[in-house]
Amino acid sequence: MSDNSWIVEPHEKIRRWIIELDHRVMHEVDIYSENERWKRLSVYRLPASIIKLNRNAYTPQVVSFGPCYHGHANLKPMEEHKDRALLHFLRRFRKPIMVYIECLNIVVDDLRAAYQSLDNHWREDTESNHGIVYVMPDIMRDMLMIENQLPMLVLHRLVAAEGASNTQAEDYVNKLLFRLYNLDSYSRHKSIDKSLHVLDICHRVLLLPSDASHLRGKIWPSWVLEKTIPSATELHEAGIQIQRSRSTSLQDIRFYKGVFCVTLKIPVIVVDNITETFFLNLLAFERLHVGAGREVTNYLAFMNNIIRDSKDISLLRSCGIIQNSLGKDEVVADLFNSLTRDNSSVYVVEKKVIKYCSRPWVRWRANLVRTYFKNPWASISVIGSMFLFAFTFAQTGYTVIAYYRRP
């Protein structure tokens, strides 16, 4: 018997798996290629831990733009309108569809690389009018979902097929998106770098630094925005004037300490039916995409801290900072409080603590304990005073009663 007789022969499937794994290590693992692939990735599949918080905020309800939700049953009614839009596009520019297909074939590898976990059949090489006013808000909402993105490269190539230069194509597409989402004047955004998709370009516009010369206050750094600070109502009661900033950048939260007044300036925000979806997908984008930053995350953490209830929303609305299109202030307060929360037990405990501390009698009792029960002698003195007060009150009561009972 040989010295190696104690070795047990692996099962045939395990042996083939080991051979295949060794082959992949030798031929497929390329650090440089892996890094390049991650750089090209821009449309992500969300993990279940994010989706479960608010499934409707991440799932398109009307139309699919990319391959991730193509063919879903609830989105099929819009396919007819998409076909009609294609016919109008081809009729308008009077060119055969093969011109555009060939134009996109040049960049097809880049387009596929933009999607995470793309199904195999998408990697194979073989493969409106009445009522539009009512569905347009839903379409705009679906266009902002991170899993439903279409790389901007597609739109740029389609416009470039008409003879426009790359710069002209980018400017043209940007202008259409700014008009669609009622973003700031187009002239301010010509300096935007190449964006990945619609969600990315909206993210960049929200964070564009302001060139206004009047912004002299100290800008709040990101680590300050994440700290817990008093609510807007408490800041106002402390003598801090809360004003609307003339800047539209979410980063321009500034603090002014003057001789006679202290001012906190916050950029205006419009809260409507797509605000929740918009910010939740921006949070997911910053969490998943390398280089996206944390500016929106910090801004929402700050807003969550200064907004505790409807009174804070009412104050911010009167200052012109929040434009409420949802109706009740309570709804807006719940929206901001839900954007940065998770369903962890820590959040539940935090809400209970805040609710407990907001009761007036809790503060009165805490003040009483701090003032009169800090040491045993102070406690004895307070208890003695209480007994003396009780006896005095009882004696006064008996005197009054005896007076009225005299014959």
Q: To 10 degrees, the CA torsion angle through 344, 346, 351, 356?
A: 150
Residue 370's pLDDT is 57
pLDDT exceeds 90 at position 149: yes
In a 3-state reduction of DSSP, which class is residue 208? Answer: coil
Residue 1's pLDDT is 46
Tokens 């070795």 found at:
7
Residue 51's pLDDT is 85
Alpha helices in 28-96 (DSSP H): 31-40, 48-51, 55-58, 79-93
Q: Give 172 or 29, the one with higher predicted confidence.
A: 172
Q: What's the start-to-end Cα distance of the chain, in Å?
A: 126
Average pLDDT rounded to a whole number, residues 5-23: 67
**Residue 381 sits in which domain range?**
360-405
How is 309-347 classified by DSSP, letter by letter? Answer: SHHHHHHHHHTTSEEE-SS-HHHHHHHHHHHT--S-HHH
pLDDT exceeds 50 at position 344: no
Band of pLDDT at residue 65, cut at 50, 70 and 90: confident
pLDDT exceeds 90 at position 24: no
Q: Which of 154, 185, 206 is the last residue of a domain?
A: 206
Average pLDDT rounded to a whole number, residues 172-188: 75
- Specify which residues 242 forms β-bridges with: 264
Average pLDDT rounded to a whole number, residues 358-368: 59
Residue 203's pLDDT is 92
Determine which of 198-202, 265-269, 359-363 has the lowest per-residue pLDDT on average. 359-363
Residue 137's pLDDT is 82
Do 174 and 223 lie in a common domain?
Answer: no
Q: What is this structure's pTM?
A: 0.68
Average pLDDT rounded to a whole number, residues 394-400: 68
Band of pLDDT at residue 299, cut at 50, 70 and 90: very high
Q: Is residue 307 part of a domain?
A: yes
Q: Give 299 or 2, the one with higher predicted confidence.
A: 299
Q: Is residue 375 part of a domain?
A: yes
In a 3-state reduction of DSSP, which class is residue 85? Answer: helix
Q: Is residue 100 part of a domain?
A: yes
Do 234 and 329 lie in a common domain?
Answer: yes
Do 104 and 163 lie in a common domain?
Answer: yes
Do 224 and 333 lie in a common domain?
Answer: yes
Q: Which of 161, 180, 206 is the last residue of a domain?
A: 206
Residues 341/347, Cβ–Cβ less than 8 Å: yes
Do 202 and 236 lie in a common domain?
Answer: no
Q: What's the rounded Cα separation, in Å, for the pair 226 and 297? A: 9
Q: Is residue 149 part of a domain?
A: yes
Do 59 and 185 lie in a common domain?
Answer: yes
Determine which of 1-10, 75-84, 122-131, 205-214 has the lowest per-residue pLDDT on average. 1-10
Q: Is residue 353 part of a domain?
A: no
Q: What's the rounded Cα separation, in Å, for the pair 312 and 324? A: 13
Do 236 and 364 lie in a common domain?
Answer: no
Q: Is residue 54 part of a domain?
A: yes
Long-range residue pairs from 177-184, CB within 8 A, at least 24 positions apart, any chain: 177/201, 177/202, 178/205, 180/140, 181/140, 184/208, 184/248
Q: Give 131 or 346, the one with higher predicted confidence.
A: 131
Do 244 and 367 lie in a common domain?
Answer: no
The pairing of beta strand 322-324 with beta strand 262-266: unpaired
What type of residue sits at position 293?
G
Do 80 and 126 lie in a common domain?
Answer: yes
Q: Give 360 or 273, the one with higher predicted confidence.
A: 273
Average pLDDT rounded to a whole number, residues 39-62: 85
Q: Is residue 390 part of a domain?
A: yes
Determine which of 13-22, 67-76, 108-117, 127-136 has the lowest per-residue pLDDT on average. 127-136
Do 71 and 107 lie in a common domain?
Answer: yes
Residue 184 φ/ψ, nearest 5 degrees: -65, 175
Do 149 and 262 lie in a common domain?
Answer: no
What sign results for the dihedral spanned by CA atoms 70, 72, 78, 79? Answer: positive
- Specify which residues 240 forms β-bridges with: 262
Band of pLDDT at residue 126, cut at 50, 70 and 90: very low
Average pLDDT rounded to a whole number, residues 51-76: 87
Do 55 and 195 lie in a common domain?
Answer: yes
Residues 207/296, Cβ–Cβ less than 8 Å: yes
Q: Is residue 2 part of a domain?
A: no
Structural domains of the chain, count? 4
Q: What's the rounded Cα separation, in Å, for the pair 138 and 148? A: 13
Determine which of 86-90, 284-288, 379-383 has the lowest per-residue pLDDT on average. 379-383
pLDDT exceeds 50 at position 223: yes
pLDDT exceeds 70 at position 115: yes
Band of pLDDT at residue 6, cut at 50, 70 and 90: very low
> How many Cβ atoms are within 10 Å of 149's Cβ, its own excluded?
24
Q: What's the rounded Cα separation, in Å, for the pair 241 and 33? A: 54
Average pLDDT rounded to a whole number, residues 154-170: 86
Q: Which of 173, 206, 239 is the last residue of a domain?
A: 206
Q: Give 349 or 47, the one with higher predicted confidence.
A: 47
